Amino acid sequence: MSDDNKTGAGLTARPQWRALQAHADRHAGRSLREYFAADPTRGERYAAEAAGLYLDYSKQRVDEETLRLLRELADATDLRAHVEAMFRGERINTTEHRAVLHTALRAPADAVIETDGVDVVPGVHRVLDRMAAFAERVRSGAWKGHDGRPIRAVVNIGIGGSDLGPVMAYEALRHYSRRELAFRFVSNVDGVDFLEATRDLDARETLFVVCSKTFTTLETLANAHAARSWTLAAFDGDLKAVAKHFVAVSTNAQEVARFGIDTANMFGFWDWVGGRYSMDSAIGLSTMLAIGPDGFRDLLAGFRAMDEHFRFAPFERNLPVLIGLIGLWNTNFLQLDSVAVLPYEQYLKRFPAYLQQLTMESNGKSVTKAGRRVDYATGPVYWGEPGTNGQHSFYQLIHQGTRGIACDFVGFCNALTPLGDQHDLLIANLFAQSEALAFGKTAAEVRAEGTPEALVPHRVFEGNRPSSTILADRLTPHTLGALVALYEHTVFVQGAIWDIDSFDQWGVELGKALAKTTAAELASQDEPKLAHDSSTNALIRRYRARRGKA
């Protein structure tokens, strides 16, 4: 059998999968109106709570039998054993032969978590203590720039996992941040990103945090070099300024030193922390600079509370398991191939972008761990915007379009910065949207409103659009940690059942390698010998010609 013919039929051949398929066939026509009519207590019963997060999943198209069958699939695929293997530090990232221990980043100091016989916890706390000492010095003004001024701006340079977590966390926790410090985040190799981020800053008062696990990433190194030139220009080229204005977060001390950053100013992490799982490692240094070491500890405590819930709570009321299993049901049995993440909280404006990477880079895979092509859908598309903004743009398609989209609503009972009655208006919109999506409006209801007959079909809402609502008291560092860990573990649940490696990212590695050759071809003074396809060759030639390099 050729490789192309090998499939991961193991999962779809399981009796538990088949039972779910038969159940889906029987219940496909059942609507949320019917589910709610059949059980008046559904809204209270289809809910669970942990680590300060209340999950209402009653507006998902599931009943007790669906949930039981999904749990049976989880049992049949040894979900519990997979969870333990991760927490115990086994090398579950099989294609990179690595342990996956982001949960160790938030373990208490007295925990013992070993990988290859070495307890990783003391190292985690050593780095946290160094970060805290450094953050205190910068925040108090004790850390001085090269000419003795205090730091007033922090610029995080990184991309992907070394950017999305820090920028999301900074935006989310801005309310708790040291307002006298400006925070900027530079990721794109497009020079505009660096230039716009720094144009109103004074290099003599600016600290760069260069975040790169590998310290070989093209974008980050290009921006770090630009930052160094910008800094040196303010100090007449005095190289000693680098030590006061640059720190690095990396696993690669050699490359950090080669760049010119003193490794005394480097904060380390480990190969068992994936980029998209690293915001609670030293990659979160900018977060700690913003909210302080105590705030960062609260964030870690929120992660840890969700970790413990995930590891020990029964599946029936385990939030990541419930969301993961219902998401799998939506993807594989209801054929909903996208999830809209809709935080009704302006501070979470970068949360959908963060989740896009976490979910899609993790579960955007089409072969099983053994390398066989899957014969079932894997990771859905995640996207979203904060409410209420999205309501005035893409919600139309969710309400009345032809595609099935599942929604995750996120909201908080208390505003951090109340303004009149606007928080009630905000949350009223969240509740009203999930209600309208679930129950829609029938033609009879539309007619009863006096709508002219010709308009009736246009004003009918089918409803039956499934959603979950996550409600918490208040957005705090602790809540944010719990929320992020909730999604990390949701991704894990799905990846484990789909039998894919949620922790590698060969698609990203491909991009990193490809651009290198092309960059040399664009820069070459002599006509390069191009060996791409005819489209790529023509684009390169046209670009070179327009740049006067024909």
Q: Which residues are catalytic?
A: 361, 392, 512
Question: Do residues 213 and 158 lie in contact, with contact meaning Cβ atoms separated by under 8 Å?
Answer: no
3 state DSSP class of 209: strand
Q: Give the Cα separation of 343 and 352 in Å (integer).
A: 8
Rounded to the nearest whole angstrom, what is the least distance from the CB of residue 445 to ligand G6Q in the complex? 47
DSSP percent split of the chain into helix, strand, coil, nearest 5: 55, 15, 35
Helices 285-312, 164-172: crossing angle, 10 deg rounding = 90
In the chain the first and final C-alpha atoms are separated, in Å, by: 49
Pair of tokens at residue 352: 């959908």
Q: How far is CA 529 from CA 86, 205, 535, 540, 548, in A?
A: 48, 46, 15, 11, 17
Question: Do residues 70 and 327 lie in contact, with contact meaning Cβ atoms separated by under 8 Å?
Answer: no
Nearest CB to ligand G6Q, comparing residues 217 and 467: 217
Rounded to the nearest whole angstrom, what is the least distance from the CB of residue 221 to ligand G6Q in the complex? 8
Pair of tokens at residue 61: 């198209």
* Paired sense of beta strands 467-472 and 53-56, if any: antiparallel
Rounded to the nearest whole angstrom, what is the least distance from the CB of residue 306 to ligand G6Q in the complex? 20
Rounded to the nearest whole angstrom, what is the least distance from the CB of residue 330 to ligand G6Q in the complex? 25
Which residues of the shown chain bind ligand G6Q in the complex (CB under 6 A)? 159-162, 212-214, 217, 220, 274-276, 361, 505, 508
Rounded to the nearest whole angstrom, what is the least distance from the CB of residue 365 to ligand G6Q in the complex? 13
Rounded to the nearest whole angstrom, what is the least distance from the CB of residue 213 to ligand G6Q in the complex? 4
3 state DSSP class of 153: strand
Q: Give the Cα separation of 304 and 104 in Å (integer).
A: 9
Nearest CB to ligand G6Q, comparing residues 32 and 221: 221
Rounded to the nearest whole angstrom, what is the least distance from the CB of residue 265 to ligand G6Q in the complex? 17
3 state DSSP class of 436: helix
Nearest CB to ligand G6Q, comparing residues 220 and 433: 220
Dihedral of CA 196/200/201/203: which sign? positive
Nearest CB to ligand G6Q, comparing residues 85 and 508: 508
The residue type found at 78 is: D
Q: How is residue 144 annotated by DSSP?
A: B
Nearest CB to ligand G6Q, comparing residues 187 and 368: 187
Nearest CB to ligand G6Q, comparing residues 49 and 255: 255
Nearest CB to ligand G6Q, comparing residues 405 and 491: 491
Question: Do residues 322 and 485 lie in contact, with contact meaning Cβ atoms separated by under 8 Å?
Answer: no
Q: Give the Cα separation of 504 and 94 in Å (integer).
A: 8
Q: Give the Cα separation of 372 and 374 in Å (integer).
A: 6
Q: Give the Cα separation of 29 and 465 in Å (integer).
A: 13
Q: How is residue 207 annotated by DSSP?
A: E
Nearest CB to ligand G6Q, comparing residues 333 and 503: 503
Question: Do residues 363 and 502 lie in contact, with contact meaning Cβ atoms separated by under 8 Å?
Answer: yes
Largest separation between any pair of C-alpha atoms in the chain? 78
Q: Give the Cα separation of 317 and 331 in Å (integer).
A: 21
Rounded to the nearest whole angstrom, what is the least distance from the CB of residue 103 to ligand G6Q in the complex? 16
Nearest CB to ligand G6Q, comparing residues 160 and 387: 160
Closest to 493 in 3D by CA, of 373, 302, 331, 340? 331
Rounded to the nearest whole angstrom, what is the least distance from the CB of residue 217 to ligand G6Q in the complex? 3
Q: How is residue 143 annotated by DSSP?
A: S
